[in-house]
């Protein structure tokens, strides 16, 4: 498969439609015949209805615009996506946060830094004393002069930087994220190291994310971390804190890849067969709330991309934010959820079991 230059939406791909994605995921040829429904699976281990353990992480998708077009992107992000969170919606986020003692705000995208109000938003969150995570794709730092000082900006606000690097070689990185991404990512990691990110005793956290570059599950997180640390230090003198191993979920462009490459059924079978009850109990949607660029609330970023808003009895928009009601909701489930419960489990913070 060649790297695409445009999002699925801009290419007119059928799977840019969330209804079509859900139709594929719930296709009667497989669900209930070959694969048990995810809800029934949770029921069989006494976890249905799945309920929050309490919101600890407020994850905000500040927009779908991105300088990259990664093949596996569940957001279908890209340079052609114009959905961007406005300052008014960011203000609603701040108001909602003020009503709670949620300590961690996790900023994601697209490339969050491309939102014109990104820095203002980080400054506001920082002034509130929040622990801020920025899911930075690395290449944005050198994509344009105006982003070159991002490492210093992150440092100023003690932002935790979480960045994808599918492998410590160019071939596997570029095959997933686009030509030249590896080289640019290495340069950005070195720049982050220069200001202290990932260095012992600096307190500046630089964590990497490993996603498999294909239709297979991630390796053991601790083993991968050791491998990445050794190789990135040896080859490029790069240091980082932790590596998160994340499973690709069959959503949007990764779902499109699975179908196009003829791997969909085998991959779903792999996820279903690897169902781990311990991972199921520790899924991230139990302690996270996900906010979309237009202020709607979701159980996780994957549900957001499938347009599966939080249960109706809970507030569905920031304007009606109520933490107590959100903590009492039941989490919306679908077949893609098997991705978070396979093997060692998967979340935005890596393995869960």
Partner 1 sequence: MEQTYYNPKDLKKFGDIADHNKELADKFFDWYGSVFKEGALTAREKSLIALAVSHAVQCPYCIDAYTVDSLEKGADEEQMMEAIHVASAIKGGAVLVHGVQMMNKAKAISM
Could you list the residues that contact partner 1 (CB under 8 A)?
167, 169, 171-172, 212, 214, 216-220, 223-224, 227
**Is the Cβ of residue 147 or residue 168 nearer to partner 1 in the bound state?**
168
**Cβ atoms 141, 147 nearer than 8 A:** yes
Tokens of 297: 């609330």
> In whole angstroms, how close is the CB of 167 to partner 1 at the nearest point?
6
Crossing angle for the helix pair 181-194 and 170-177, to the nearest 10 degrees: 110
> In whole angstroms, how close is the CB of 172 to partner 1 at the nearest point?
5
**Is the Cβ of residue 178 or residue 218 nearer to partner 1 in the bound state?**
218
Tokens of 318: 């920031």
> In whole angstroms, how close is the CB of 271 to partner 1 at the nearest point?
13
**Is the Cβ of residue 3 or residue 199 nearer to partner 1 in the bound state?**
3
Closest CA to 61 of 327, 296, 339: 296
> In whole angstroms, how close is the CB of 32 to partner 1 at the nearest point?
21
Place of tokens 């005793």: 201
Q: For the sheet containing 288-291, what is the strand order?
A: 243-245, 206-210, 160-164, 131-135, 104-108, 57-61, 288-291, 297-298
**Is the Cβ of residue 14 or residue 226 nearer to partner 1 in the bound state?**
226
> In whole angstroms, how close is the CB of 243 to partner 1 at the nearest point?
10
**Is the Cβ of residue 175 or residue 352 nearer to partner 1 in the bound state?**
175
Distance CA 211, CA 18 (A): 23
**Helices and strands of the chain, counted as H and E runs:** 14, 8
Distance CA 58, CA 60 (A): 6
**Is the Cβ of residue 217 or residue 353 nearer to partner 1 in the bound state?**
217
> In whole angstroms, how close is the CB of 268 to partner 1 at the nearest point?
15
């Amino acid at each position: 498969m060649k790297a695409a230059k445009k999002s699925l939406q801009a290419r007119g791909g059928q799977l840019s439609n969330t209804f079509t994605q859900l139709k594929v995921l719930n296709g009667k040829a497989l669900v209930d015949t070959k694969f048990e429904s995810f809800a029934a699976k949770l029921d069989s281990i006494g976890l249905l209805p799945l309920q929050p353990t309490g919101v600890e992480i407020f994850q905000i998708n500040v927009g779908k615009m991105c300088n990259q077009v990664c093949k596996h992107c569940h957001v279908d992000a890209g340079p052609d996506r114009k959905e961007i969170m406005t300052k008014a919606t960011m203000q609603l986020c701040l108001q909602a946060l003020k009503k709670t003692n949620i300590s961690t705000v996790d900023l994601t995208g697209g490339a969050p830094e491309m939102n014109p109000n990104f820095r203002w938003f980080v400054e506001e969150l920082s002034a509130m004393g929040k622990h801020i995570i920025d899911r930075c794709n690395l290449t944005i730092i050198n994509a344009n002069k105006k982003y070159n000082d991002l490492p210093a900006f992150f440092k100023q606000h003690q932002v935790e930087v979480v960045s994808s690097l599918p492998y410590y070689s160019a071939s596997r990185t570029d095959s997933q994220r686009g030509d030249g991404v590896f080289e640019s990512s290495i340069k950005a990691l070195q720049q982050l190291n220069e200001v202290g990110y990932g260095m012992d005793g600096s307190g500046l956290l630089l964590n990497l994310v490993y996603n498999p570059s294909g239709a297979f599950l991630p390796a053991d997180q601790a083993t991968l971390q050791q491998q990445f640390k050794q190789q990135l230090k040896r080859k490029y003198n790069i240091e980082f804190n932790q590596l998160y191993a994340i499973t690709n979920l069959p959503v949007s462009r990764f779902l499109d890849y699975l179908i196009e490459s003829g791997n969909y059924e085998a991959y779903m079978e792999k996820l279903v067969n690897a169902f781990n009850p311990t991972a199921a109990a520790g899924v991230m949607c139990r302690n996270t709330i996900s906010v979309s660029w237009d202020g709607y609330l979701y159980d996780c970023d994957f549900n957001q991309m499938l347009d599966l808003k939080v249960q109706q009895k809970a507030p569905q928009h920031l304007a009606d934010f109520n933490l107590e009601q959100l903590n009492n909701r039941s989490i919306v489930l679908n077949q893609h959820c098997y991705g978070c419960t396979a093997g060692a489990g998967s979340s935005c913070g890596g393995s869960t079991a």
